[in-house]
Every structure is written in structure tokens, then in C-alpha cells.
Structure 1
Amino acid sequence: MYSNYFTEIIPYAGYDIKQIAWHECMACGNGHIGVLTSGAPKNDSFIFQNTEFVMPSDEPRCVPAEVTEQLDEARQSVINMDDTWNIHNRKRTNMYCYHPGHQLRISLKNASDITDFVRSTDYETSELVSSYNMSEYNTYANHIKKRTFASSVDDVIITEISGNSFTVDISIDDFESMHKFGRQKSGDAPELNMKYTRFATDGLIGFCALYPQYEESELKNGGFAGVTRIIPYDGTTSLSFTDTDMRAKSCLDPKNPIITFSGKKLVLITYLDWTYKQPDKITADFFTIPLVSQCINKINKTLIKYADASSLFSYEAALKPHIEKYSSIFNHVSLKLNNADKALSNEELLQKQKKTDYILPELLKRVYNHGRYAMYSCAGHTAPRLSGLWTGEWNMLWRSAYTMDANVNIQVSGMNTCGMYDAGKGYIWFVLKQIPDWEINAKAVYGMKNAVLTPVNTDGHRAMMVEYDINYPFQYWNAGASWMIIPIYEFMQVYGNVTITTHDENIIRIYNKNIFRIKEDILLPLLAKTFNFWEQLCTPEYFTDSNGNARFVKGKTSLEPDEKYLIIPSFSPENKPLGYKSAITANAAMDIAAAVDSLNMYKNILSDIKPNGYQKTLEKITHLISCLPVYMFDKSGAIKEWSMNEYKENNAHRHISHLYCAWPSSETQHNHALASACRQAIINRNRENTGKDDTASHGWIHKALVEARLKNPEAVYNTLLLLFKSGIFYNTFFTDHNTDRSKGVFCTDTLLGIVGIINEMLVYSDECTVELLPALNTGLINGEICGLLTKCGIKINRLLWNNNKRSVYIDISALRDTSFNLIYDNESIHLDMKSGEQTLHKFLH
């Protein structure tokens, strides 16, 4: 990936929503910390990240007490078709907002002409590289090279700058100078109430900040800090100060330190972190501040660890173990496509694509590789935020939360099949940390015991049910936990019943252990809590009769044979029936599919583990499944978004939550009628959903994932072509939230989702099936994918297709003893393979 252009980040600039400078930055990360860099030669910016940084506010951190009392009102409003009930005019509140760390500025002095500029993300090493020639005083050419990586071994960010001879000023920009600081959709933002100081001494530059003190916040005594150590080689450093800008109202110091380096090479090592217990005041002696000392100690350990024989830090020595870990994961999968134009830069390739009516193979390959690179960069610690690991601004739209009603699910869609083992573990830690709050939500909203209810968003610190109102009644979004469990279940299908270990003190404190078996310690208890949720949600008082009409009979204690439970209340994100004013409904198709899917997962785990009394639990699960609502279909043959005679379909919306049965579930794989109904539902959406709502990229990505599961290659190809021809890609191949950039939001669900789409269109798998090229359009004539994993324990060593020669070649290995059907086109071969066994097959058509 390389580009010949850069965009300088200008302090205090008022950016146009479609041209926000940091969006064009290169990015790297190790799942915990990361950095954005513009690569600009004269005024470069390094914006450091920590995925746990959230800005406290005065927003509530507990479920509103009144929500439990409103359950009967909600149910009665639905059963009586009363769309005027407004949950007592509740105003929606929000989780905390993700925020950046410090922005380090490196200004090149005395440079006039800059030539031969190129910046790139090196997928072999995961380094961000920029290089160029400069003329100093117009006297001679000087080649400058900058390299940066986020070490996955030492958890620091390391930058090397080298050249014949150069001079740079190194400083930390005002936090206020960063995009949108202090500005949110309504009123002043909470960071205006934080305080920070910058400091510099011999070889160190950093900052320390105190969070605003909101009494109800768990972060009221907390703060964050970051330190960069400057290691000069063949050169000298000096310290000076400039006056702090008058606009930096949160800064405690009147002077801003600058370290000037002159020489041939320097290395920067950075670490940043946060704490619950920051001192009440930031002292002038920053070494006495525990968090600052912690950052310095972390850097010094790395400095000592990679010292060479001359006691000088070696960038190459630090890079080597990182590459070993990174390459073993990134190179697990490779994609090759014929007719790839490797000579073009990213921006040239994107411009060419806009003028081309077919997908450029080189662009598809680069986006796929960049998606896997970004997935790795977000892996191991948690799941990807809406913006991945990165933000270069304050108060991002939707707070760069972990959004669990589509975005996170899309972002991890290719995680397991790509062999991103660490990403899978990080996702599991992400879920495990939330479960105590999920249990509180289920009790608060529904009065349930030992059950879980997932909120739409988490900020990574809390996952309470606070983000809901009458337009977005997420308190009655019932499918969330089931959807969030699927990637963990897939992890088990791909890797088997492995044991994973955490070093996270929060998880150890919650579960009183650090070692977890996937089936026994994670899936079994979590699916049990999900079963408890569905069982307690369903009550015989609310049901559909033999004609499918919704009914309520107070005191009714059992269902008749021809009756079904009503899933009530219900919410299908983020839609409402046509002509109906309320989004609080019943029998959302997403809820039906999620209930069936999670209950079947629970049955499978119980049958495998066989804990005491499991037979009775299996009987209860089977009975509950038989009593759940069934899907309904409209006059066009499409699956209805709500299985209710009383509602009309509303297809003027981007969300396709009602197609959960196709993806992420696989219910349509052996139900052709249901698959046809899902196809028709997408046709109806595509016909009726137009305009602004149609520019949200996650809607298109979601459609493509569903279409891939439905084995519709033309629709998958056309969706990818639409996205590739749109303006959604930055020159780095990171993506915006909208195809027309109308929201101005850096967002990774499109980039990461494309990885899942490509994997799905090349290989479908379940526990007894491997299907080759189920959704590959003939537009991608020849190609090869290596390293994909499947849900039946098979590794695709090599899948080679050639549509010109009408042939497919497959080389597979068994990761465990397994039995499955290998399918291509209309041909099926049953295989029984032992662990470690390898086999080759060739199909002609």
C-alpha cells in the first residue's frame, strides 16, 4: 500500500466535514495502543491512541429505575396497537466518548523543496513508512526516512527518523487544537473541564491530564498520560519553550516545551495509559506522578531490552520479535488475483476504479490485505471500536463506541476464518468484561434472574442499558446477546475446545480465574444465561392464536397446541412498521432467529459436555423452540420484518436485521424457501430504500454478507463494485461511514466487513460442510486464496480457481478429526479426515 500524497494536520483548523485531515493518516496498532501519522515531511503529526481512553461526562452510568415499571405498559401498548405510548418522554443518554491521546508534532526545519515523496504501510513488517528528498538551504539533496510500528511484543510505539543530516522540533500540540475539542452535537463537551500539563526534560517529552470530576463517574478521580522518549544518534538535542496558546484553556502551564534535534538519526519510544486514581493536583515534579512513572518505566524496559553492544537502543532489534509475531498471523492468509496493476499508487487505483465498470483486481486485493492488517492492529485486547483503534478528533459521531447492533458484528465477520486467533481471544475478553452489566440490564428491564440483555453500545468500561428512547427503544432489543455469542461459538468451531489465558485484572476479578475453556467456562454459562432470558421473556399471557393474531389473556398459564408465544416487547433495529409511529413492537424476525440460533447452540454444547441434569434442560429447550413464533411472509414472498398480521412492512430503511436467519445465522442453508424469502426481502429493500439513508456503508456491507450466505454472486459483486466506485475510501484504504462522506466519520466497519465478505464468497462452512466459491462472480476470473479456516476443522491450504479453464483446485488439511461434505457447484464429496491429514481435489465444470 503506497501513496504519493500527504495531508498536514493543522492546529486549530476548521475542517470541512468531507476533508478532515487526520482521516488521511496512516495507522498502526497492537490492539491496545496505536498511532496515526500523516507522514507529512515538514510538519508531521503522530496522534497516539489507547483503546481504553474514554472521556467521563455527567451522563448516567446506571439503568434508569423506572424502566422495570414500564414493562407492562410497553406490552399493553403493543398488544393494543397503541403507538402513542412514549416511555414517559425519556431523553436518550449516552455512554462515554472515546478520545485520542497526545498529538506529537515533528517539524522539519530549514527545508525548502521536498521531492520524491512516498508513504506506505508495509504489510510485511506492519511499519508505517514515509520517505522523501529535501533540499536544505537549496544546497544539496538529503534523503529522509521515517518508520513507525506499534510493538505487539513490548506494547510501545517506536519511530525511527534517519537522514544525511536534518533538524527537527518535537513538541506536543494543544489538546484544544485538535479537531472538535470541546464541541459536541449539543452544548459544550466535558473535556473542557479537564486539566493537563506538558513537560520535557533531558530526552523526555510528555503530558499528564486530570479527567473532569463528575461525582457519579467511576473516572472522577482518574486521568491519562503519555510519554515519548527521544533517543539521539549522531546528533544533539536542546530544550526551549514557547508561550502556550491563549486558546489552550485546559492547559495548566504558560509555556509549551520544544525539544530540538540536529543530527543523522533519532528514535522515539512512546507509551500512554490511564488510571482511576490520578493525584488531585498535577505537581511540577512529574516523576512523582505514578501514572507518568509507569509510562517512563515501560519505555525504559524496552530501551534496556534492545540495547546493542554500545548500549544504544536498536530499532531493528525491537522490530524483529514484533515481525515474527505479526507475520505469523498476517501471512496466515494470502489472496492472489490475476491482472493486478501493482504499479499504481493507492490514489491512482481509486481514481481508475471510479472510471471502470468492473472491480479492479489489484484494488480488491489491497483492500482485503489492508482490512486484515487493520484487523490485526485492533486485535488481542478487545474488539474494534466504530473507528477501529483510532481517532484523531474529540467527540466523534456515535462516540466511536463498540456498536453491537451491526457494526462490531460486521467488523469481526472475517476474524475466525482468517485465522486471527488473537483477535478472537480479544473479542472473547471484550464480551466477558460486559457480562456483569448484561445481567444487571436483564434484571432492570425485565426483572429477570441469571439472564443477560445486551445494550446497543458499550464504551469499553461499562455496558449498561442507558442508550434508549422512544425512537430507539434498545431496552427491548432482545437479540443482542445471541448475536454477540456467535463469533465465540465460531471460534470454538474453528479452533476446537481450546484453553485461553488472560492477564486482565478486571476479568480475573470478575471470574476469580485467568484460564478459560471455551466450551465449559465461556459458552456453557453464557448460553445458559441466554436461554434463561428467552424462557423468562416468553409468557403464555401474550400469544398468537391459531390464525396468527396477537392476543393477551391475563392469568393464562399455558399455550394450546396451535398457539405460539409472542416475543413482546420487541425492537427491530432501527426500523418501525409502515404507518406505525412506534418502534416498540412484537415478534421481530431478528428476535425469532436469534432465539432459535442461541437455543440450538446451547443444545449442541449441552449434548457435547453432558453436565448433570442436561437431559431435562434439553427437553426444556426443545419445548421452548417449538413454542416460539414462526416467520411470516408478505405478498411478494419476502420474509416479514415482524411476524405479525397487524403490521405492514417498511422497506425504506438500510438495516436488514430481519435477515439474521441468513447471516450471521445459517438457518437458510438447508431451507430453500426461507432463503428465497430473504432474497426477496433484499430486492424489496433495494427498490424502496434510497436517498441519504442509502449512503450508510454498513447497510451495504450487511447486505453483501447476507447475499454471500444466500449464494448470490452477482449481488455480492455489484455491492462491492458500488462501494469501490464510491468516495468511501481514503488514500490509505481506511473508510468513511458513508459512501459520500456526508457524516465525516472515520469508520472501519466497511474495511473490516469486506474481509468477511470475500471470505464468505470464496468458502462457506459449517460443522459438516465446506462449500467452495458459493458466491464468486465470474468477474473475478482467476485467483487463489490460501490459509482460510473453516468451522469443521479444515484448513484451506490452497484454493485455486480458473474460470477460463473452468477448473477449481483445492488443497486441504484437517486440524482435528472431522467428517464433512466438500461441495463445489453441484458436486459433493464426503470426506472423513484424521488430524494432520491432507488431501487434494480438482473440480471441472
Structure 2
Amino acid sequence: MAYKKIYLALAITFCCLQMLQAQDLKLWYNKPAVKWTEALPLGNGRIGAMLFGGIENDRIQFNEETLWTGEPREYSRPGAYKYLDSIRQLLFQGKQKEAEALAEKEFMGLKSYDGEKAGWITKVTTDKKYAAVDFDDSKWATMTVPSWDGWETVGHEGLDGAVWLRKDFVLPNDWKEEDMVFDFNRIRDWDYTYVNGQLVGSQQNTEGRKYTVAKNILHKGKNTIAILVLNFSDKGGIYGYKDTVKHIGVYPVNNDAAAISLKGQWKYFVASDNPPPVGAYQASYQPFGDLNLKFSNTSSATNYRRELDIANAIAATSYRANGINYTREYFVSQPSQAIVIHLTASQKSSISFTAELSSPHKNYTVTKVNNDLVLSVKVRTGALRGESYLRVIAKAGTVKIENGQLIVANADEATIYLTAGTNYKNYKDITADPKLPCVNALASVTGKTYQQIKAAHTAEYKKWFNTFSIVMGDNKKASLSTDERLNNFSNGNDPSFAALYVQYGRYLLISSSRPGTRPANLQGIWNDLTNPPWGSKYTTNINAEMNYWPAELLNLSAMHEPLFDMISELAKTGKQTAKDHYNAPGWVLHHNTDLWRGTAPINAANHGIWQTGGAWLCQHLWERYLFTQDKNFLRNRAYPVMKEAALFFNTVLVKDPVTGYLISTPSNSPEQGGLVAGPTMDHQIIRALLQHVIEASEILNVDVALRNTLKEKYKQIAPNMIGKHGQLQEWMQDKDDPNNKHRHISHLWGMYPGSEINYDESPAMMNAAKQSLLFRGDEATGWSLGWKINCWARFKDGEHAFTMVKMLLSPVKGGAGSYPNLFDAHPPFQIDGNFGGAAGIGEMLVQSHTKYVDLLPALPAAFADGEVKGICVRGGFVMDMKWNAGKLVKLAVRSKTGNDLLLRYNGKVVTVKTKANTVYNFDAALKQL
């Protein structure tokens, strides 16, 4: 039997390998990256790198998964539960604003340490010499104003503090002497604005600034504006209106049409870059540093190519200069725990460059330790610090360190090793030695050749990647660069590009979520900003879960492990939140978490109090069991956590005074509608959780009394309801607006990723859910497009699902789509759309959320010809399937555990009694061969 298992595994691997060879598995470009969203991502789950591939200056921006702001601390507010009943009663009375005000004051979680601002503000505002008209600012640098989305976007990443900005402007001679309005748009956070040396206004918010300046302060000809901007955290500066057509400017009162634009270059001076800490509900993921490789004599370079080979997780840059062919290979090795870069040339003694380490973190240092360069960093607001070691091994030539640079001259070839580590041990302990991962990584490569290290890397990676393959159409358009294919996808016939996108999603998941690492965050593992969008955290009202939608379906079950590890940790910290905020047993997670596993309500009461983040995460534990049928996993890891989550809801559900149903409150429907009682999404998730716990207890033959209690509770939960517009109601009240185009489609959870709403058991609800999605429309942010692809697949509408695919695989032009490196655009970048899109295409090919396995349930005409191998379905089956002209040609199903198999295709249902570790073959009519 053991030999049969090995033979079967080898046969399946061989089939996948054959198909992989026919696949289009490269992203490639004919020019270097300029923007971060053009760079190519590499990662081993712990270390991430973004490769720019510059000819003269090759930037490698890198991350280490545990470098975050913050520190171990308490997140939950003791005694918050005392206000729970009052908040609920206000909501029952229709007093939403009052409920939100009380919750804002008494029910939110705790922030981190908030520094004392008054003394610092007094210090930086006392000296007003920089506002004087005759102040000499000729030596000041310049900054583009306004800087939409913050001065971080115009070269000042990480700049917080007190910054003076100055600009002269000319008042026209033909303007009448009258009061003038100065419109500075929005300023973050505080401003002290002077015109001709006189203070004309000051505000302490992020709203628009319009100051009326008396005519006696102004004069014809040159006038001087000086603004002291105090920015404590996040985006800073004069950052414009969302409507970028509206310029900052000056105009006579009641005559804004005559405005003089003040847009352009302003002089600036950083008076202080060390403001007091700002309290934050949760921490933010941080960049680590940059490696810059600088080359000379490259001005005549030709034949440039930059590529990412996702079959091997290796990137390459190549070009020809001065008659010599140069190649650089890059990968992030899991066995060696290092970024590895190998430089070669077609002529000996041709490899010469300098390597420099730097970091966006202030006060970083670069020192020499033996023959290595060491970058040391510390986050500004938190307790974490990190170290990165850089080593170069050259063949021939010379290697030396001078003035903080590692210099290589006239080598035949060179290999660079870049490592990283932090003092993070776990979410409660920061006593690790950040040098240790670096020292161990370099020790692991000592005495090995580059080819040995590369071989170990590719072998480790391929054992994950080679479990699945997909081909659709031909790969003729692989001769076009990836950015060209992206530009043309929505208008051309390129199904192979969609197949590449699926495999790229799998590549990104393997690269950002290996067993033993932290789970993929909002940007996977890649981030270059100290103030990343939404903190690059784990948003658990859709985004963190969407990251793992491909894991089981696309045969990457092991990549799910980091999420399960985080869930186990959250189940511990969430116990305290359940006690402090609800006086309840079990555990709870609201709509965000971070490295420190915060579980309390955050941000604001109108969206940050949402009870079912933990329950949604529990669905992933159950899905792992459904796909693998692993009872040991169910018994030892999944059920204990699911049970504790169910105990929480067994206590906190309350009776709705109008309907008598049990409902969830206070909560919201992410992310709109404010604080409410009884959002539909909550009830769908809670029903799913209780049902899964009931089924698991039956499978494991445990907790009979609890099982019976949950069965009774389940019956009393408010059901899905159809509203007056034929829509699935989002709330208890029938108040959905058909014109609401919100990106969140939270109340469709029960249809996808849940399964209680389906055509077999609840066709009327499916039609109502479809009506809701039609009202919401197709336009959306990137991750929302990913969700909608899956929804339209569940509606078995392949053409509409493909419309969503085309929108996702479109260039970013101010809205959603994909960046040149195929990163998903919210915008800005969020990786969840990559994962949601990949899963959605898989869902178009096979579905197994009911008792049936549906084959090609939502196949669009564009995907008429194809073959997939290694796709997984619930019940413990792995499938290979081929189709032509939109019709099934053949099917092979491997049964891992011997469950009954119910296949459905084209109206026909076939039931097969299977044996474990046996392959079953079928023809186009589902006749067993």
C-alpha cells in the first residue's frame, strides 16, 4: 500500500510537471521599474524583497515579517461591558448617534501610549522667525505642494514633526484692494499660517483651510506665505482636496473664479522631526531597508530584460553593455533564510559595483562586522529593532568595505547574501536576538556554491508550487511584455494571461505565507512605507480572510498554517476582550488585528465594533477540514477554537424586541450603516459557526449537551430576509438603497464565502442575493472585484464573472485594477484582490460548497479551452480536468479518504463510492472509465 501511495503521488507530480512546462509562467518587462508597484516581488514567507532591476542603480527594497510598530500591551478596556446594555437599548430605541457616542467614549479598545503634546507644541511654535517676510530661505530645499496623499508621496516618507513651508506670490496690480481668501485645501494635522509675517489662521484638524485675509495685510506685488505644519503621524503636509482639479490658491472674496494658483514648488525646513508618540489602536507593519547596487559604464546598455519566473521563484535582470552580456539572478531562499543575488558576465573581470544599505527608519546605522556590512534599525513608535547582514562572495577580483560601502571590483562573478532579523519572539515576548537569524543564515551558506544554494531553494519552492497547474488557450501572447498584456487583456483574446494570474496568486501566497511564518497581511509581506495604507494590518472583515481563499482550492493547504497559528493566538487574546467588553466566555475578534494580536474594537464606533471577525476566521478551520478530511486537525486544532468562539455567541446573542429573533448587537455591516442591531452578515457568520461546531461535535462524538444547546440557539437567530426591492436585506430593517454602490457586499457572505444560500437549497434567496449584487453594480475597488468574481461564479454566470476578471486585470487609471507588476489596486496596493481573483477563477472551474461537485459551473466563452491539474474540492478529492470548446473532455479524481463522490455536470449527477488513495477516470458524459 505504501508503494502504491508513493507511485500515485509521483504520477500526479509528473503530470503537473509536464503541464507546467507548457504553461506561461513568467512576468517580464523591457525596462527597469521606476515605481514600487512596477518592481517584482520575492519572498520566503519571512523575508520579502521588491526588485527594481535598474541598470545603473539596482534597488532591492526588503522586509522582515516581524518588524512592526507597537509592543506587547493590553488592548481591551476593562469594564467596558458595563455599558453594553445601555448601548443596546439606545439602538433598540432608534438612537444610533447617541449609541455611537456612548460606545466611542466607553466601549472602544485601548490605544498605545499617547505622548504629551503641549510642551512640544510650545517649543516648536515659539520661534516665529521663519514666518518673517525678510527671512532668507534661499538655502531651503523645495517640496511639491500640494502633495496629494501626503508629503510621503513626494520623497518625504516617514517625515513627522514640525515643518515650515514658504512661498512668495504676486498680487496683480489690477486687483482691487479688498479682502482675500486663501484656500490651502487640507493640511495634516495642525497649521499656523502666516501672510506677510502675520498669523491669519490656525486649525487642529484635517479639514479644508480657507482663511480670509484683511486687505491691509496684503499689497500689490510680492507677498509671502509661511505655514508651520505640525504632523504627528501618518500622512503629512498640505495634501490637497480629493478633487485634484481644485487648486490651492488665493482670490478676492466672492470671486473664486479669479483665483491665482499656489500649486508648485514651496521652500521647506524641518524644524523638528521627533514629535511625541500618538496613541494608536493597533500597530503598523514596517519596511526594513534598502540594498542599492551601483554600477558604472552602463550608459550604452541594450537588450534589457527584467523577469520573474514563478515556476522557480527566481527573478532576473539582463542587458548588454560595452559588448558584454550581464545577468543578475535573485531569489529569497527558505532553506538559507536570505536574499540571494548572483551577478555574472560573459567576459571575465567584468563585475564591478558598490553595495549600500539604508533604511527609511530614522537614526539607522551601517557598521562593519568582520567582512560583512550590518544595518541596524529601530522603529520610532515601538519596541522592535532589527539587524540585517550583507555579505558578498566573489570569484576573482577584490571585495572590500570602505566608508560604509561594500565594494566589488573586477570579479568574474559575485554572490550577495542579505539577511534580516528582529528582537520579536512572539506576541508577548520581544527578547529575541536580532543578530541570530542573520548569523545562522550566513553560516548555512558557508562552504556552499551558488548552484547548491539555488538548487535547494528551487526544490523547496517547487514542492509547494508544482502541486497544481492550469492552462487556458495557448500562450502565444507570452511574447508580449507583461505590462503590454495587462493593457490589452480586456480587449484581446488572452486566456493564458488569466491562467498566469491564477499561478501568480499562488506564487504570492507561497512567498508570503510559508508554514512557520506569520500570515500574509494586507500587503502580503511587501511594504516600503513607514505609514502604510491601513497599517498593512490584518483586516478581518474581509481582507485577511480573502488572502486565504485560494489556499485549499488551489492546492496550497500548507500555506494556510500561518493563519491557523494566528487564530490560535487570537483565541487567547480574544478571551480577555470577551470578558472585558461583553462579560462573556469564549473569545471574540473585531474587525482588525496586528502582530500583537489585538482583538478589541478600534478606530470609531460607527465601524470598529463588529463582533464576528473571529467567527469568520473559524470558517477557515472548518474549510481546512472539509477539503482534507483530517480528523486529527479537527480534533486538536480546529474544534477547540471553534467551540470557544461558539460559546461567546451562545452568551451574547440577545432578543430583538420587535421580531423576537436572537440578534447580534452592537455591531455593523462592514463597512457602512454605522452602529446597528442585527446586521445580516453577522447572523450568516454566526449560523455557519454554530452549524460547523454542531457537525464537528458529531464527527468527534463530543459535547452532546453543548451540541443540543447550539441547535436550539441556531433556530432562533434572525433569518435572511428579502426586502421590498427583491433584494437580500443587509439589515433587520428593510432599508436598502438600490442606488447604493458601496464596495462592501457584506450581506452576501452567506452565499460566498459561506454556503447556506445556494441554488439547491434556497433558490429564492440566491435570486435576492443576485438582485443585491446587481444594485451594487460592477465598479469596485480591487479586492471587491475579487469578491464579486467569486459571487458571479456562485451565480453560475461565467460571462459576468469574466467581466469582473477583465476589470481586475486592467491597468490602474485612478481606480481599481492591477499595477504593472500585477499587484492588486484598491487603490492603493492591497494583495487581497490577487488572492480573491485567483480563487474566483478557480471557482469558475469547479465548485463543491453543496453536496455536489459542480464541474465547469461558470465557464465563460473566453476560457473555452483549457486543462487544470491538482485542483482540490471538499470531501477530500483532488481533480484533473480537461475541456474543449466549452465542454468537458475528461476528468480524473483522486480520492484521498474514500468518501462518496457526487459529480454534477450539464444536468447529470453521478455518485461514486470511492476508496482512499484511488484515482477514478471519467469521460465527457461522466461515464467511469
Tell me the TM-score normalised to structure 2 length: 0.73
| Cα deviation code 1:719-741 (max 9, x no counterpart) | 11122234232332222223xxx
What pairs with 1:820-835 in structure 2 (closer than 5 Å)? 820-835=901-916
CA distance in 1, matches of 2:900, 2:524: 37
Q: In 2, are the aligned partners of 1:64 and 1:466 still within 8 Å (CA)?
A: no
Q: Residues 201, 423 of structure 1: CA spacing in aligned structure 2 closer, same or farther, 3 A cutoff? A: same
Correspondences of 1:470-509 after superposition (within 5 Å): 470-472=605-607, 474-475=608-609, 477-497=610-630
Q: Are 1:94 and 2:281 counterparts?
A: yes
1:229 — aligned with what?
391
Could you list the per-position Cα deviations for residues 150-205 of structure 1 after superposition, in whole angstroms to 9, with x for gaps in the alignment?
112232221111112435443435424xxxxxxxxxxxxxx55xx42111355311
Aligned residue in 2 for 1:49? 63
Q: How far apart are 1:647 and its partner, in Å?
A: 7.5
Query: Cα 1:160–1:62, aligned 2, differ >3 Å: closer, same or farther?
Result: same
Is the counterpart of residue 802 in structure 1 residue 884 in structure 2?
yes
Whether the 8 Å contact between 2:629 and 2:875 is mirrored in structure 1 is no
Q: Is residue 409 from structure 1 mapped to residue 551 from structure 2 by the alignment?
A: no
Of 276, 279, 299, which residue of structure 1 is paired with 2:441?
299
Tell me the equivalent position of 1:461: 596
Contact kept? 1:438, 1:452, Cα under 8 Å: yes
8 A contact 2:810–2:818 mirrored in 1 = no
1:514 is matched with none
1:760 aligned residue? 843
Task: Decide which of 856, 881, 905 is 1:773's aligned counterpart.
Answer: 856
| 1:103 counterpart residue number | 290
Cα separation, partners in 2 of 1:598 and 1:6, compared to 1, 3 Å: same
- Residue among 599, 607, 611 paired with 2:690: 599
- 1:259 aligns to what? 407
Q: Does 1:543 align with 2:656?
A: yes
Q: Aligned to 2:479, what secondary structure does the other structure show?
A: coil
Shifted more, 526-535 versus 765-774: the winner is: 765-774
Q: Following TM superposition, by how much is the alpha carbon of 1:293 offset from its aligned partner in structure 2, in angstroms?
A: 4.1
Per-residue CA deviations over 1:269-291 (Å, capped at 9, x if unaligned) read 121111159xxxxxxxxxxx984
Structure-to-structure mapping, 1:205-354, within 5 angstroms: 205-212=373-380, 219-220=382-383, 222-241=384-403, 256-275=404-423, 291=433, 293-304=435-446, 307=447, 313-340=448-475, 341-354=477-490
Q: Which residue of 1 aligns with 2:304?
A: 117
User: Residues 120-144 of structure 1, C-alpha deviation per residue, up to 9 Å, x if partnerless?
Assistant: 1112221111111112xxxxx1111
Q: Could you tell me which amino acid in structure 2 is paired with residue 74 of structure 1?
A: I
**Distance in 2 of aligned mates of 1:793 and 1:761:** 19
Q: Mean alpha-carbon deviation: is it higher for 698-707 or for 42-51?
A: 698-707
Which residue is equivalent to 1:709?
A: 794
1:425 to 539, 543, 561: 561
CA distance in structure 1 between the partners assigned to 2:884 and 2:736 by the alignment: 48
Q: Larger C-alpha radius of gyration, 1 or 2?
A: 2
Aligned partners of 1:482, 1:292: CA distance in 2, in Å? Answer: 35
Q: CA deviation at 1:678?
A: 0.8
* Cα 1:686/1:149, change in 2 over 3 Å: same
Mapped contact 2:783–2:824 kept (Cα < 8 A): no
Task: Find the counterpart in structure 1 of residue 922 from structure 2.
Answer: 841
Matched, 1:441 2:577: yes
Please give the secondary structure, in 1, of the residue aligned with 2:55.
coil
1:448 Cα offset (Å): 0.8
Following superposition, the deviation at residue 479 of structure 1 comes to 2.0
- When residues 66 and 169 of structure 1 are mapped into structure 2, their CA distance, relative to the original with a 3 A threshold, is farther
Q: 1:609 to 1:391 in 2, by over 3 A?
A: same
Paired position in structure 2 for 1:180: none
Contact in 2 for aligned 1:116/1:133 (Cα 8 Å): yes
Asked if the contact 1:229/1:268 (under 8 Å) is kept, the reply is yes
524, 548, 569: which one pairs with 2:666? 569
Aligned ranges 1:580-599 → 2 under 5 Å:
583-599=674-690
Match of 2:95 among 82, 89, 94: 82
Residue 817 of structure 1 and its aligned partner are, at CA, apart by: 1.0
Q: Does 1:3 align with 2:28?
A: yes
C-alpha displacement of 1:240: 2.2
| Amino acid in the other structure paired with 2:504 | H
1:725 to 1:767, Cα distance in 2 relative to 1, 3 A: closer
Q: Does the aligned pair in 1 maintain the 2:789–2:841 contact within 8 Å? A: no
Q: 1:301 is aligned with what amino acid?
A: A
Unaligned runs of 5+ in 1: 10-20, 136-140, 177-190, 242-255, 278-288, 308-312, 499-516, 551-562, 577-582, 688-693, 739-744
Equivalent residue, structure 1, for 2:366: 198
Mapped to 1, the partners of 2:538 and 2:627 lie a distance apart of: 24
Tell me if structure 1 keeps the 8 A contact 2:606–2:668: no
Which ranges in structure 2 are unaligned for 5 or more consecutive residues? 1-25, 112-279, 426-430
Task: Provide the C-alpha distance between the structure 2 equivalents of 1:781 and 1:844, rounded to a whole number of angstroms.
Answer: 18
CA distance in 1, matches of 2:734, 2:818: 43
- How far apart are 1:574 and its partner, in Å? 0.4
Question: 1:130 is matched by which residue type in structure 2?
Answer: T
Please state if 1:623 is matched with 2:712.
yes
C-alpha deviation, 1:807, in angstroms: 3.8
Shift of 1:767: 7.3
How far residue 99 of structure 1 moved from its aligned partner, in angstroms, is: 1.0
CA distance in 1, matches of 2:545, 2:651: 26
Name 2:866's counterpart in structure 1: 783
Following TM superposition, by how much is the alpha carbon of 1:268 offset from its aligned partner in structure 2, in angstroms?
Answer: 1.1
Question: 2:183 maps to which residue?
Answer: none
C-alpha deviation, 1:648, in angstroms = 6.6
**Most deviating of 291-300 and 368-377:** 291-300
- Tell me, yes or no, if the aligned pair for 2:359 and 2:377 is still in contact at 8 Å: no
Amino acid at match of 2:874: K
1:206, distance to aligned residue in structure 2 (A): 1.8
Q: Distance in 2 between matches of 1:767 and 1:631?
A: 18
- Could you say what secondary structure the match of 1:81 adopts? coil
C-alpha distance in 1 between matches for 2:617 and 2:439: 37
What TM-score does the superposition give when structure 1 sets the normalisation length? 0.80
> Aligned AA for 1:591?
D
Preserved CA contact (<8 Å) 1:169 1:260:
yes
The one of 336, 339, 350 aligned to 1:157: 339
* Residue identity in the other structure for 1:702: W
Match of 2:824 among 722, 730, 735: 735
Matched, 1:361 2:495: yes
Deviations 1:638-668 (A, max 9, x none): 1100123577777331101101110111112
Indicate if the aligned counterparts of 1:770 and 1:821 stay in contact, CA closer than 8 A.
yes
For the 8 Å contact 2:45–2:510, the answer to whether it is kept is yes
In 1, distance between residues paired with 2:324 and 2:617?
Answer: 53
SS for the counterpart of 1:830 is: strand
Specify whether residues 791 and 643 from structure 1 end up closer, same or farther in structure 2 by C-alpha distance, changes over 3 A only.
Answer: same
Q: Distance in 1 between matches of 2:462 and 2:776?
A: 41
Distance 2:29 2:789 in 1: 32
8 A contact 1:769–1:822 mirrored in 2: yes
In 1, Cα distance between equivalents of 2:693 and 2:645 = 9
Identity, % of aligned positions: 20
User: Could you say which residue in structure 2 is the equivalent of 1:653?
Assistant: 742
In structure 1, distance between residues paired with 2:822 and 2:642: 37
Aligned residues: 711
